[in-house]
């Protein structure tokens, strides 16, 4: 009874203002009330306000919607290796991302949802052999928050076998994710995930099943067989930290850290290969303190086919750090490494070619934040070296400048 009385008093005293968090969310965070009590006590007028996006509130119906737009426009100069036949330097402007996202809650936060589309989402090749961008659906899912400690999510969403891949591209410290993360991540899939958390919300555990990646399956494609991808993930946060927001633009007081791990198993039927199995693990650590950030992730995966003609191990990792020299200016650097097992790991996907043994990627970045990650400019230099199984290494240099917004 005391909790409800305190909540009623706070609601009467609180003006209707734009807030980063609602009053109910703050009370739950402080442990004054439970999530179910907050849902039961939620009332008041609706309206339109800003909360990391344009938010529409309809408390009488227990419904909310948040609208976001994301735009990333980029210039890239690529200095190709002159020793590679047919290679050529390029200087190019392009729209990397142009997205609209709608997310929110229903039935007083018992359900949440997200729909995201990208107008330049995927790349295809036209009849003339030119690369063209085609709009596509990125995320589309519903989540049932069955109780304070468990939820069920179903639809199309990102797998959680890589911290960097799971985080939004709007919150990256560099224009692109690391080569190691891109190689091992299974990105977006259609499936179902059950998640659990402790009372404090700093420990999470999840288990998910997806259609998988047999030939013809994947994002925006239905399953074609009985093969699936399974992912189990766990995370522990120490202090006030969001591990999916890279860098420390908020200048964390003291030290905060996040530790995550995952295991995945995939069986799929691939054209030209037949039945396959992939087992993999990942572990990541993120630390933030007073404008300084350090993040790293390790991957291992084994890939083999049913005919025992392919049995390969791939290992990769990246480590990156940043320092906020001022409230707007950040210096950052990253090293990404990928062991392609003398080219045999090319069967696992793009990133390792049949002629490449190891891939080293070194990136130096300079970021300027006008409005934290909501509006920033990113300059990066990328040195990429493919250590050839035989013959000479292939070296590529890139200079990139990207303007990124998330409103």
Sign of CA dihedral 262, 267, 272, 273: positive
Q: What is the pLDDT of residue 229?
A: 96
CATH number listed for the domain at residues 44-406: 2.40.160.10
Angle ∠(300,238,330) on CA atoms, nearest 5: 80
Buried/exposed 254-266: b ≥16 CB within 10 Å, e otherwise: eebbbbbbbebeb
Please calculate the CA angle 104-108-112 and round it to the nearest 5 degrees: 30
**pLDDT for the residue numbered 347:** 86
pLDDT band at 129; cut points 50, 70, 90: low
Write down the pLDDT at residue 84.
81
Most confident of 60-64, 233-237, 266-270: 233-237
Structural contact between residues 208 and 184, judged by C-beta atoms closer than 8 angstroms = no
Higher pLDDT, 74 or 50: 74
How far, in Å, CA of 374 to CA of 66, rounded?
15
pLDDT tens track for 14-37: 443 334 466 667 777 666 676 655
pLDDT of residue 1: 45
* pLDDT confidence of residue 112: 98
Banded pLDDT at 39 (limits 50, 70, 90): low
- What pLDDT, in 10s, does the model give residues 161-197? 999 999 999 999 999 999 999 999 999 999 999 999 9
pLDDT given for residue 82 in this prediction = 81
User: Does 38 or 182 have the greater pLDDT score?
Assistant: 182
Query: What residue spans define the domains of the chain?
Result: 1-43, 44-406
Q: Please report which confidence band the pLDDT of residue 336 belongs to, taking 50, 70 and 90 as the band edges.
A: very high
Higher pLDDT, 374 or 29: 374
Residue 126: predicted pLDDT: 64
pLDDT of residue 93 exceeding 80, the answer is yes
Greater confidence (177 vs 347) lies with 177
How many Å apart are CA 24 and CA 36, to the nearest integer?
10
Residue 91 confidence (pLDDT) above 50: yes
In the three-class reduction of DSSP (H, G, I as helix; E, B as strand; rest coil), residue 259 is classed as strand
pLDDT, position 17: 37
Alpha carbon 332 to its chain centroid, in Å, reads: 19
DSSP-H helix ranges across 210-310? none
For the stretch 231-252, pLDDT in tens is 999 999 999 999 999 999 999 9
Confidence of residue 133 (pLDDT cuts 50, 70, 90): confident
**If you average pLDDT over every residue of the chain, what do you get?**
90
Q: Over 60: is that where the pLDDT of 12 sits?
A: no
Higher pLDDT, 202 or 7: 202
Q: What is the mean pLDDT of residues 124-145?
A: 84
- Residue 126 has φ and ψ, to the nearest 5°, of -80, -175
For residues 191 and 12, which has the higher predicted lDDT (pLDDT)? 191
pLDDT of residue 362: 98
Q: Is the pLDDT of residue 103 over 80?
A: yes
What average pLDDT does this structure show over 48-56?
A: 93
Q: Which DSSP helix (H) or strand (E) runs through 183?
A: helix 179-184
- pLDDT score at 128: 66
Q: Which of 235, 237, 304, 248 is nearest to 276 (CA)?
A: 304
Neighbouring C-beta atoms of residue 407, cutoff 10 Å: 15
- % residues pLDDT > 70 (the chain): 88
User: Residue 273 — pLDDT band, cuts 50, 70, 90?
Assistant: confident
């Amino acid at each position: 009874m005391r909790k409800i009385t305190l909540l009623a008093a706070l609601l009467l005293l609180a003006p209707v203002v734009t807030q980063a968090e609602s009053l109910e969310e703050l009370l739950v965070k402080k442990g004054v009330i439970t999530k179910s009590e907050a849902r039961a006590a939620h009332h008041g007028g609706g309206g339109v306000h800003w909360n990391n996006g344009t938010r529409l509130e309809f408390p009488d119906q227990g419904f909310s919607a948040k609208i976001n737009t994301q735009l990333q426009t980029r210039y890239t100069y690529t200095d190709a290796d002159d020793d590679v036949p047919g290679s050529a330097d390029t200087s190019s402007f392009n729209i990397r991302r142009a997205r609209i996202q709608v997310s929110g809650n229903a039935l007083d936060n018992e359900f949440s949802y997200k729909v995201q589309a990208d107008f330049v989402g995927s790349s295809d090749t036209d009849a003339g052999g030119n690369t063209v961008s085609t709009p596509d659906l990125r995320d589309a899912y519903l989540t049932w928050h069955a109780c304070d400690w468990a939820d069920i999510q179903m639809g199309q969403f990102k797998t959680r076998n890589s911290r960097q891949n799971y985080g939004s591209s709007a919150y990256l410290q560099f224009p692109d994710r690391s080569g190691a993360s891109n190689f091992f991540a299974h990105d977006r899939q259609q499936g179902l995930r059950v998640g659990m958390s402790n009372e404090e919300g700093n420990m999470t555990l999840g288990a998910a099943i997806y259609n998988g990646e047999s030939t013809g399956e994947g994002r925006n494609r239905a399953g074609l067989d009985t093969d699936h991808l399974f992912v189990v993930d766990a995370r522990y946060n120490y202090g006030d930290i969001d591990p999916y927001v890279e860098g420390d633009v908020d200048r964390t007081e003291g030290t905060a850290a996040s530790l995550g791990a995952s295991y995945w198993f995939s069986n799929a039927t691939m054209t030209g290969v037949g039945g396959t199995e992939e087992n993999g693990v990942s572990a990541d650590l993120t630390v933030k303190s007073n404008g300084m950030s350090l993040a790293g992730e390790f991957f291992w995966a084994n890939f083999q086919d049913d005919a025992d003609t392919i049995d390969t191990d791939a290992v990769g990792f990246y480590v990156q750090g940043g320092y906020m020299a001022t409230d707007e200016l950040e210096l950052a650097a990253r090293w990404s490494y990928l062991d392609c097992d003398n080219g045999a790991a090319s069967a696992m996907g793009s990133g390792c070619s049949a002629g490449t043994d190891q891939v080293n990627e070194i990136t130096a970045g300079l970021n300027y934040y006008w409005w934290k990650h909501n509006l920033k400019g990113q300059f990066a230099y990328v040195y990429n070296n493919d250590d050839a199984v035989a013959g000479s290494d292939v070296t590529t240099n890139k200079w990139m400048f990207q303007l990124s917004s998330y409103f």
